[in-house]
Chains A and B, each alone.
Chain A
Amino acid sequence: MYLLGVNLADNRLVRRALRSFYGINFAVGRRICARFQIHETCRVHELTDSQIAALGAFLSSPATVAPPLRCRRAAVDEQRVPLTAPAPPTERSKLKDVLAELKLETEGRRVVRENIAHHREIGTYRGRRHAMQYPVRGQRTRTNAKTAKKLNRIDRRGFATW
């Protein structure tokens, strides 16, 4: 199945398939599944149309999606409400929404680039190491450091570090 241009394998678990998007890890994937009430063992081909549409809307712009539903729990002696009763109003959570601050794909990569550029501008050790294409986190340079030489630069476009 294709979602926002990314191919999600049909047989994969949804919370695993969501990690195909830059900026989503296991913990965030679980939260996204809970937000749209997708159970943990749901495969991509089991998603309903409304869930796919909701996921697509969220992943294209996490900040503009409505806050999560507030699901009040039934008391132990809750009285039963008949099916014909009017539907209660939908309640949204007033707590801070962790997923609204999510930065995905191009936004996520831009945040990483800006952080590296900021380190260079203010003249930190980390900025200098990025500029010299050396490892940043104290690894050895006498041997190895091949990944740093390949990826570390001011305009870093590889795997995200800091």
Chain B
Amino acid sequence: MSRRNRGNAGGTYVNNVRGPTSALTSFLNERGIRRANPAPAPPPENVADNGDDNNEEPASPQDQAAPSSSSSTPAPASSSSRLTRTARLTRGRALPTPSTSASRSNELDGVNDDSDSDDSDSDDSDSDNKNLIPIAVSTSTTRAVRATRSRVAAVASSSSSSNTVASSSAPSSTAKAKAAAAAASKKRPRKKDASDDSDDEDFHDITGHISRSNFSHKGRIPQGSNKIVFCSRCRARFTIKAGTTPAVDEDDGGLLCPSCAGTGSPGPLKNTLPKAKPVKRARRKAQKAEIECHIPTLQDLCIQKIANSIEDVEAFGDISDISLDKICKIISRNRSLNAETLQLFLDARHSELILYDCTDITAIGLQNIAQFCPNLRSLKLKLCGRITNEVMDYYTEHLTKLASLTLIGPILILEHTYIKLFETIGTRFEKFELKGSSRFSLKAIKALCDNCPNITHLRLGDCNLMDDEWLEPIAGLTKLKSLRIRNPEPDKLTTSAVVKLVQAVGSGLEELELKGCNGLTDEVLVDAIRPSCVRVERLNLSGCEDLTTEGVETLFKDWSVNSGLTYINLENCVMLKDEALMAVTEHSGATLEELNLSGMDEITKDALQTLTRCGLKIVGREGDYVDLRFM
């Protein structure tokens, strides 16, 4: 219960299960109004009712425990306060007698529809649920907390594969069983206290035969109800499909769940798909074993603890910056970096911030970065697809000390936002890295070069609009020390333009990267790099497949103006032969620290022996310095 409201910032959660929502639904949800069971009453009515019901309902559930009339329950079912729903579920659990089955079934339907009503967009629910599930894993702890939501969780989990309503439709039983088992395995920590996994089993069996194409809102709720009952032997909760008879325990006349009733002959399921069942059973038993093994990993537990105790920063003690960065990496790797765990890294004293995976950080969370860390000098946001123009403008205004910005994957940012950023930062700007933006245009790069003459590091990768025209303004950046151009669209950058660029800025460059610029010929090496790049220490020409041995030889042979490179990357320069490598080692052998020859399959061991001349530097450090993959 305590978890319920966590993580609501910017997202929508129904019982901690997030489904796709329209703007209206999310608006209502924030106010505690949930769409109720649409079958008994049309949605607009429910919406109107909900405002009142929210206050009344908490008092009423207990009163409705006894009566089993189905007429009474749709009305409360139409109220959508979370508390009520949960209370009713609790009530349902506490009263396992069949007499209240009708009310419980409507509860169930109400529950179903509550979660279903959020699945308004079939395309979204899949991706949303898929995104949801890892979050759910990492934030779930006590099963008791989740216990009351297990039904909803099971329902939502089975809907994750079908994209639609949970209990009464699903494409194929196998796909559903798999996905539901996978999803249920993630939601396992949420399972009820004494319940068995037979819950999930029954759900799949019940709805196996209704295909997505036959889905209709009316048909969603099976008439005559699914009953939730308790097994008299193992006390597990299970569902009896409408119209089928459950196995009965001879001794005390109580109902038996399928597993107690005997393997391979589930009583309640006799009426459905008898052929498919044995296969389903076997597969499900295997998946059941998987599900039952799921205990959260220690990493997850730690992250949850951190997320919970985030208010209590003192509790964590002193953390060095290196550790903090390491923790950021770990949390990102576990896909748990969200608006809450983010708080751990936001501190007014920080001048540098690197966030490795901002996929789950909403726009508001990203804005918080500027609010909490106004003194940032360097900001690096990886996978920041969610950053909006408003947030970017906010950064522009409030991060007054920002000098270095890295954005990887900012798909939403438009040209004018970039231009505004450059105009505001102006001469302060030193390092700019942008990867993966198809909206960064010529105008933007011109604005950058006009407004920010002090740029020392410029890195542009995967920018679809990049072409020769971009290289002209870049040539005007006289203070450039590091230039990286990665993966432009094939054949958009011509050799002559690149040559001109390198000739213009080459003398100051310490690092030059032209990765993935296929189509570049030896001219770049001979006419541009050789004469101009006197200071360059790091050279990356990977993916430039048209470079020939002669070109490389000409570059490195007697390249006296350059005193030796420390990093050379010739990955996938497939045409290069032994002489090229020999020329490289001849020239830079003494200074070389890292060498990447991956993919150069023409090289023989003779050339490789020259690597021994590379001095101690290349083997002295730790790590992987000579990359000889695919050779």
Tell whether A and B belong to one assembly.
no
**B residues lining the A interface (CB < 8 Å):** none
**A residues lining the B interface (CB < 8 Å):** none
